[in-house]
Structure 1
Amino acid sequence: MTAGNSAGITPKIALVTGGSRGLGRNTVLHLAKRGVSSIFTYRSNQAEAEHVVGLAAKEGQTALALPLDTGKVSSFDAFVEQVRESLARLGAGRFDYLVNNAGTSHHAAFDKTSEEELDSLYNVHFKGVFFLTQKLLPLINDGGRIVNVSSGLTRVAIPGSASYASMKGAIEVLTRYLAKELGPRRIVVNTVAPGAVATDFSGGMVRDNPEINKRVADMTALGRAGLPDDIGPMIAALLSEDNRWVNAQRIEVSGGMSI
């Protein structure tokens, strides 16, 4: 259950897409450590999602898991209704923080990328983020916060990442426009751009391949690949009141990758 607040301050609620694994999961759990309840989405692995629910409960916070394919805009209206129902379970009508984190990886040379592959990336990484945020706007509290997760690959060009990085670049532009247009509602919007992180993303490429892990470490000022615990706490901190004046920014969290 949601931890109480003796000061009478209304507990905060976050919605995190792709919250059952990797950076999303880490964000949900670090928000829980800060007293924030979450509604998070998962693509297909319900058991994995329920495990995150249990871990959040150990931190004294409620986390509710909802299935969602962020690449299918046609499902968003039904999802928004599920969010309304979940908010009611949390005793709220709106939520405070939106973290657009869900994504898929893609590695192929520019001249080998098919139209179908590009469309799939577009649907998840740009179209899905654009319209899910649009659909959820009525449920975000004025004075709320949005974090769009991008990638260090928008700054550092690594062959094989052109299509993925281009979609993330579009998200960074969208972030600035959202910050401008949602300013009258005092909604802060920022981009967090992680560097290479050792998760199961890209089939666990950085986590499980020693050669790639070393290559990442060698190009990083702090001498290692990133870990989920390097990213989740940063997003949770960025969403806090301490960072209320940070707006329309791209913040790279990469340990100093390729500087």
Structure 2
Amino acid sequence: MNIAVVTGASSGIGRSAAIQLAKRGIGVVATYNSNRKGVEETVSEVHGVGGTAVALRLSLSGTADFSGFRAELEEALATTWHRDSFDHLVNNAGVGIVTPLGQTTEKVFDSLTEDLFKGPFFLTQELLPVLADGGTIVNVTSNATRGHVTGPGWSVYASLKGAMSVLTRYLAKELSPRGIRVNAVAPGATHTRFADNVVERHPEIVPELAKAFALGRIGEPDDIGMVIATLVSEEGRWITGQDIEVSGGQNL
């Protein structure tokens, strides 16, 4: 059985990716930071579709914990699946904070950098020895990196997601001798807990947002999760080094 590590799997795109992978017969290691209840619901849903999953806590703020996470991961792989490696890494965990120019503090800048770029970079590096040859990595970026979606207040977030997009291409090149494919998906506005759960707190913004989408609505987690599952599967075997916008034609 193939195994996937999905970061930030307690809700939203991460939860969807975990469930979609499980539907394809892939075991799931679902990570969470503070939302223990959420990740338990994810594990339960994976079990509900006939899959296997375990939950592990992981914070991207502070690389010193990554070696401990790797040890816990190796134990979970051995105990649950009798494996000493895994096959797919989905770097999904992250945060979204509005940071207008002139109002962005260094503390906020550094925190976003850890969560959105430094953390995923060093986590990937830490887990590479455990990632099986012929495996895959999928990074979740954002269409905020595209010129047609530029919006005020998102300069730091978009810049760091842009760094992940560039990293995707370089990882694809450097890991190709091991047969590891690396891609990214770039969602548009999606109904998740993003930006402090802004869609749930302000549902009145959704109809106005939807007007910007060629397909007439904002995204749902499964719109993204299904693409992630496709990229790691046999259907995606000839795709690598790509950052694919999955946005329903936002601002098309």
Output the TM-score relative to the length of structure 1. Answer: 0.94
Amino acid at match of 2:11: R
Confirm whether residue 67 of structure 1 aligns to residue 57 of structure 2: yes
Per-residue displacement from partner, 1:11-30 (whole Å, max 9, x unpaired)? 11000000111100010011
**Contact 1:207-1:213 at 8 Å conserved across structures:** no
CA distance in 2, matches of 1:126, 1:154: 14
Task: Look up the match of 1:3.
Answer: none
Task: Look up the match of 2:70.
Answer: 80
Per-residue displacement from partner, 1:101-141 (whole Å, max 9, x unpaired)? 00011112121111111100101111101100000000111
Confirm whether residue 124 of structure 1 aligns to residue 105 of structure 2: no
**Contact 1:205-1:212 at 8 Å conserved across structures:** no
**Contact 2:30-2:43 at 8 Å conserved across structures:** no
Confirm whether residue 144 of structure 1 aligns to residue 135 of structure 2: yes
**Contact 1:31-1:37 at 8 Å conserved across structures:** yes
Any idea what SS the aligned residue of 1:158 has?
coil
**Contact 1:188-1:247 at 8 Å conserved across structures:** yes
CA distance in 2, matches of 1:246, 1:170: 20
Task: Look up the match of 1:6.
Answer: none
Any idea what SS the aligned residue of 1:255 has?
coil
Alignment of 1:63-212 (within 5 A): 63-89=53-79, 90-155=81-146, 156-212=149-205
Confirm whether residue 223 of structure 1 aligns to residue 216 of structure 2: yes
CA distance in 1, matches of 2:171, 2:210: 34
CA distance in 2, matches of 1:14, 1:88: 14
CA distance in 1, matches of 2:48, 2:226: 17
Amino acid at match of 1:27: A
Amino acid at match of 1:53: V
Amino acid at match of 1:129: P
**Contact 1:194-1:253 at 8 Å conserved across structures:** yes
Shift of 1:207: 4.4
Shift of 1:169: 0.3
**Which of 42, 49, 57 is the aligned partner of 2:47?**
57
Any idea what SS the aligned residue of 2:210 has?
helix
Task: Look up the match of 2:246.
Answer: 253
Give identity over the alignment, percent.
50
Per-residue displacement from partner, 1:65-112 (whole Å, max 9, x unpaired)? 001111210100000000100110211111110000000111121211
Shift of 1:204: 2.3
Output the TM-score relative to the length of structure 2. Answer: 0.96
